[in-house]
Structure 1
Amino acid sequence: MTEFLPLWLFAAVCVCLLFGYPVAFSLGGTALLFAGGGVLFGTFDPVFLQALPNRLFGIVGNETLIAVPLFVLMGVLLEKSKLAERLLDSMAMLFGSLRGGLGISVILVGMLMAASTGIVGATVVTMGMISLPTMLRRGYDPALATGTICATGTLGQIIPPSIALVLLGDVMSNAFQKAQLQMGIFSPKTVSVGDLFVGAIIPGLLLITLYIVYVAVVAWLQPHKAPAVPKDELIKSLNGGSLAAELIKGLVPPLLLILAVLGSILGGIATPTEAAGVGALGAAILAWLSGKLNFETLKDTVRSTTKVTAMVFMILIGASLFSLVFRGFGGEELIHEFFNQLPGGVVSAVVIVMLVMFVLGFILDFIEITFVVVPIVAPVLLAMGLDPVWLGIMMAINLQTSFLTPPFGFALFYLRGVAPPEVKTQSIYKGVIPFILIQLFVLLMLAIWPELATWLPEQVYAD
């Protein structure tokens, strides 16, 4: 019975979360209760908890995690400066005269928003508020409009610089080192956040391309679902200005910011953390140039950034305590033994992990899954010979799909909260199904051709 205590610990955490208790305290509190009971009954060695101070010091001193508040600050500043609204207006002018053009504009703007904010909830809410009313007013089918916005919002999981990839990269790096120790390999090779950023570029662009193809095909086969915007309305929206000038004002600033962040990483000029500093400074400059940077905006931005950062680090502290207790009860050995006994070997192990993470994505955010589930399963999977970059990208897209899947997908709840009352929940559910199939197709492609995720990092970091 005692050998199943790790599973009971995990189940207890899930029950606490279902009852609505805060994630960080559910993880830490449940772990402490189990550890205390284990000490009393002689099933837990308290020596494992002696590693907690070093773990906490390592979290606070982790340079990689400094990128989190900086990227959050960048995203909130861009949201407050209304750059997304101007960008959407510019893209709508460019593509609006085409059938499905407004939907394609939303996808491209959402891609840039995802690359700028890296936060799924922020992207879905922002795009829902500024683009959904416009799409509905232009005669778009509610299912197509809401599905496009939800799917585009979840790109924040995979389009770098994604906060999900920052956190996942840090956890995957530790898991890779642990896997090497288990295999008795002492190699200088490491995996970093930059590796995941570069590895996510091709899968991310593939997703965006397939989204655009889907919207274009729907507009071609069923024009009434994605009508073109009349040219006289587009001309009127220019207010006597030129299209080129509007595009430059709306498109160039966020593009320059994204190129500065990603270009500095890809060019080897800056680490992801340093690039996050570049992004935060660039977003502040853009907000200032747009006339939106004042004391009130700065105060709201700092408050929002502090809340998100505090939440992330509190969850990380609770997850560290949970993982120590889980290991103290022999959880790692239990998982390792289970995977090794599976028929089908590493393929079965990956399928089961992906299914479990997919289901957990209904009740847990990516932060909790990254800090709780990935440290448990990743070392075992990597010890079975999997590439850490490929595994990280697979996990990110898998969670992205989970956040989009009815009836519990987080993206659906975010959009439901800002959608007009006349938009039915069934329309939102119906609209996301084609995009879910697209993401599953990309996952299948990654499973068949891992080079989609691993080739570019090998080229960039060839030296």
Structure 2
Amino acid sequence: MELIPLLMFAAICLFLMFGYPVAFTLAGVALAFAGLGILGGVFDPNLLKSFPARLYGIMNNYTLVAVPLFVFMGGILEKSRLAEDLLANMSKACGRLPGGLGISVVLVGSMLAASTGIVGATVVTMGLMSLPLMLKRGYAPSFACGTICATGTLGQIIPPSIVLVLLGDVLSSAYQQAQLKMGIFNPKTISVGDLFIAAMLPGLALVLLYILYVFFTAWLRPNIIPRVEINDDDKVSLWRLFASLLPVLLLISLLLGSILIGAATPTEAAGVGALGACILALCKKQLSWARLRDVSRSTTQISAMIFMILIGASLFSLVFRGFGGEELVHQFFSSLPGGVYTAIALVMLAMFILGFILDFIEIIFVVVPIVAPVLLAMGVDPIWLGIMIAVNLQTSFLTPPFGFALFYLRGVAPASIKTSEIYRGVLPFIGLQLALLCIMALWPSLVTWLPSQL
């Protein structure tokens, strides 16, 4: 009986590695094990009767409405070419600094991440715009590719992030389960807005680490980042820089500002952001019926994929718990030497490794519901845990050989750039992200301080 949950999880990983669709793999494995369990008399078939109620809960979940809205907003901003003028002016403004173009790529990418919240859109957009320019300026291909990939993954942690939206919903349910187990019958909840607020300081810290790395690399290793002579044509006026910054800053202020002051929920802010993106695209004369149709179609496809995975993962977690999987995980964590600290380290390591073969959506919907209630019942802060998971998933998104950000850039990079150069370029940035994880583990207040002030 105790081996069945382990076999379920192993079967999921095996079938996903063979390339079967994630949503149907989750549901199919769950139903297969449930059927065998019923025949063997080790699974209660009445548990499956609660699945329709879970489906209704997914359909009736107001928080998840933010997902298609943020995806739509990111698609519109990607098509509107909002970042082109910003990158051109920012690179001129930072031109006198060592590695000025690399620093401008980090800054523009972070603002694009804060506008779209979608890693793929940021990596592809920055790859198409900045990679040819960085290669033309003499940047080493590995360094240029590493900077673009790492900057693109900032969409995982900087709000509004699809990862944080999904994590907020899953962790809220897990937090309520943990409190009920501890005998708290009026359980508190955490919101996506709490995670958005908590992610701001770690996100800014990671941007600062990237900038410092680019600056000191350019200063100490000019063979990788050659110094560029600045002439009058490469200067930009403050007005032009402000004019290119204004649309992005205005959209970010509308999104995050409305959440911070409590004027809007993340779902309402997502609606405002989607409308704001359409207005910006219209002002730049980049909005047409054909483009709107393409974005709407891609938004529908991505949203349908996410919700189908959520439905499959909900069935999988129901059957997993029916076989006593959650109690097995709790017993395992409780028996570890070092208690909660060892448990957290083990969970972070497992998620990092699983990130090589699973997308962040599968990890959030499959792994987090299994381990989060146990960790939260052990006294772990839910907001801190959510940000730790988000940064960890961001790191796995960047790690060779299966990091998805690497595949996105490989798809738009010139054929002359070797895949090994892309892999080599991201390694220092992976180290910076792991350093941030250690900093947040040693000083949790980096995550928890800002939410406690609001």
TM-score (norm 1): 0.96
Q: Which amino acid aligns with 2:410?
A: R
Q: Which residue of 1 aligns with 2:268?
A: 274
| CA deviation profile, 1:65-124 (whole Å, cap 9, x unmatched) | 000001111110000111022221121121123320000010011101111111112211
Runs of 4+ in 1 over 4 A off after TM superposition: none
Q: Which amino acid aligns with 2:184?
A: I
Structure 2 Cα separation of the partners of residues 304 and 28 of structure 1: 24
1:224 aligned counterpart, secondary structure: coil
Q: Number of aligned pairs?
A: 454
Identical amino acids, percent of aligned pairs: 67
Q: Matches of residues 352-371 of structure 1 in structure 2 within 5 Å? A: 352-371=346-365
Structure 1 Cα separation of the partners of residues 29 and 85 of structure 2: 47
| Pairing 1:151–2:145 present | no
Shift of 1:189: 3.0
Shift of 1:36: 1.0
Shift of 1:228: 4.1
| Pairing 1:260–2:276 present | no
Structure 1 Cα separation of the partners of residues 197 and 49 of structure 2: 37
| Pairing 1:19–2:12 present | no
Shift of 1:249: 3.2
Structure 1 Cα separation of the partners of residues 213 and 186 of structure 2: 44
Match for residue 235 of structure 1 among 230, 233, 236: 233
Structure 2 Cα separation of the partners of residues 188 and 366 of structure 1: 28
Q: Which residue of 1 aligns with 2:64?
A: 65
| Pairing 1:425–2:413 present | no
Q: Which amino acid aligns with 2:362?
A: E
| Pairing 1:88–2:87 present | yes
| CA deviation profile, 1:307-339 (whole Å, cap 9, x unmatched) | 111011000000001011101111111101111
| Pairing 1:139–2:133 present | no
2:185 aligned counterpart, secondary structure: coil
Q: Matches of residues 201-220 of structure 1 in structure 2 within 5 Å? A: 201-220=200-219
1:102–1:228: 8 Å Cα contact kept in structure 2? no
Q: Which amino acid aligns with 2:295?
A: T
Shift of 1:126: 1.4
1:169–1:392: 8 Å Cα contact kept in structure 2? yes
Structure 2 Cα separation of the partners of residues 431 and 361 of structure 1: 19
2:180–2:187: 8 Å Cα contact kept in structure 1? no
Q: Which amino acid aligns with 2:233?
A: I
2:174–2:373: 8 Å Cα contact kept in structure 1? yes
Q: Which residue of 2 aligns with 1:164?
A: 163
Shift of 1:164: 0.3
1:214 aligned counterpart, secondary structure: helix
Shift of 1:130: 1.1
Structure 2 Cα separation of the partners of residues 9 and 85 of structure 1: 47
Structure 2 Cα separation of the partners of residues 315 and 228 of structure 1: 48
Q: Which amino acid aligns with 1:373?
A: V
Q: Which residue of 2 aligns with 1:121?
A: 120
2:145–2:426: 8 Å Cα contact kept in structure 1? yes
| Pairing 1:190–2:184 present | no
Match for residue 293 of structure 1 among 284, 287, 295: 287
2:416 aligned counterpart, secondary structure: coil
2:179–2:187: 8 Å Cα contact kept in structure 1? no
2:398 aligned counterpart, secondary structure: coil
| CA deviation profile, 1:40-77 (whole Å, cap 9, x unmatched) | 11121111111111111110110000000011111100
Q: Which amino acid aligns with 2:274?
A: A
| Pairing 1:394–2:388 present | yes
Shift of 1:429: 1.5
| CA deviation profile, 1:426-460 (whole Å, cap 9, x unmatched) | 21111111111111111111111111100100101
2:176–2:187: 8 Å Cα contact kept in structure 1? no
Structure 2 Cα separation of the partners of residues 260 and 272 of structure 1: 11
Structure 1 Cα separation of the partners of residues 151 and 201 of structure 2: 16
1:231 aligned counterpart, secondary structure: coil
| Pairing 1:403–2:415 present | no
Structure 1 Cα separation of the partners of residues 15 and 311 of structure 2: 17
1:96–1:102: 8 Å Cα contact kept in structure 2? yes
Structure 1 Cα separation of the partners of residues 225 and 4 of structure 2: 54
Q: Which amino acid aligns with 1:54?
A: A
Structure 2 Cα separation of the partners of residues 133 and 257 of structure 1: 28
Q: Which amino acid aligns with 1:159?
A: I
TM-score (norm 2): 0.98
| Pairing 1:412–2:402 present | no
Structure 2 Cα separation of the partners of residues 243 and 298 of structure 1: 34
1:98–1:229: 8 Å Cα contact kept in structure 2? no
